[in-house]
């Protein structure tokens, strides 16, 4: 219960701060390629989801989220801004949980405080401005959320090695693959994490075992993705 309350409390704080930073940007993101996609969504309709609205990249996750937002919000800038604020606050909250769990497993003192401060700095970083203001960048927020969730389930597995965490990890990772190409780097991040810190995070699970479970299958998915992209 304490963890759920802390997560909910953190999300509310992050949301309020993000809203304070970005409420004045409502409607500013209807520019350049975003307008092009909105025209495609309006012209093609729901059937466009099946071929990512003609997007040559396999951005199915991107277009499912963006098209759904378009159907509900149309050109209501305030609603789009609230959606982006909520996604940013979610990402910050999950990043807080990820680093708190990671620091705790690593034996770092005051893990909760350190993770909260780091996540707060991520929240207010000016580097977040472009994906927060430009609505065509919604896939950055969605993909970040999915990859953070994937990492969160890796850490849950390290704390309690249950198969459901492996399943949830791959669900998030595969969804991220079909949202944005930055997900290609994620297996590399995991490889480095397990190689340098795996044995320190859980003495009962070897780094080799973690690489076999999470890294090698994730790498194997990449050529499958590239083949699908070639024939798209």
| pLDDT per residue as tens digits for the range 110-159 | 999 999 999 999 999 999 999 999 999 999 999 999 999 999 999 999 98
More confident residue, 125 or 6: 125
pTM of the model: 0.94
Distance CA 76, CA 185 (A): 35
Positive/negative CA dihedral, 191, 197, 199, 202: negative
Confidence of residue 105 (pLDDT cuts 50, 70, 90): confident
* Range among 13-17, 98-102, 160-164 with highest mean pLDDT value: 13-17
DSSP label at 172? Answer: H
SS3 of 130-141: the string is HHHHCHHHHHHH
Of 179, 167, 172, 184, nearest in space to 221 by CA: 184
Distance CA 79, CA 72 (A): 9
Of 110, 104, 66, nearest in space to 87 by CA: 66
Distance CA 66, CA 62 (A): 6
Radius of gyration of the chain (CA): 19
Q: How many CB atoms are closer than 10 A to CB 47?
A: 8
Burial of 203 per CB tally in 10 Å (0-12, 13-18, 19+): exposed
């Amino acid at each position: 219960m304490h963890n759920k309350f802390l997560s909910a409390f953190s999300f509310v704080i992050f949301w309020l701060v993000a809203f304070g930073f970005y409420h004045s940007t409502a409607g500013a993101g209807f520019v350049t390629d975003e307008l092009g996609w909105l025209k495609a969504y309006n012209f093609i309709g729901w059937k466009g989801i099946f071929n990512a609205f003609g997007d040559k990249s396999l951005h199915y996750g991107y277009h499912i989220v963006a098209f759904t937002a378009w159907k509900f919000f149309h050109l209501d800038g305030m609603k789009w801004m609230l959606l982006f604020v909520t996604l940013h606050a979610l990402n910050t909250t999950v990043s807080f949980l990820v680093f708190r769990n990671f620091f705790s497993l690593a034996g770092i003192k005051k893990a909760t405080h350190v993770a909260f401060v780091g996540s707060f700095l991520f929240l207010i970083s000016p580097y977040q401005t472009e994906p927060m203001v430009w609505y065509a960048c919604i896939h950055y927020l969605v993909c970040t959320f999915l990859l953070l969730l994937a990492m969160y389930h890796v850490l849950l597995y390290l704390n309690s090695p249950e198969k459901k965490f492996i399943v949830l990890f791959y669900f998030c990772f595969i969804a991220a693959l079909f949202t944005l190409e930055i997900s290609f780097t994620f297996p590399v991040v995991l490889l480095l994490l397990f190689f340098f810190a795996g044995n320190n995070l859980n003495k009962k699970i070897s780094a080799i075992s973690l690489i076999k479970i999470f890294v090698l299958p994730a790498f194997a998915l990449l050529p499958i993705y590239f083949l699908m992209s070639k024939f798209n």
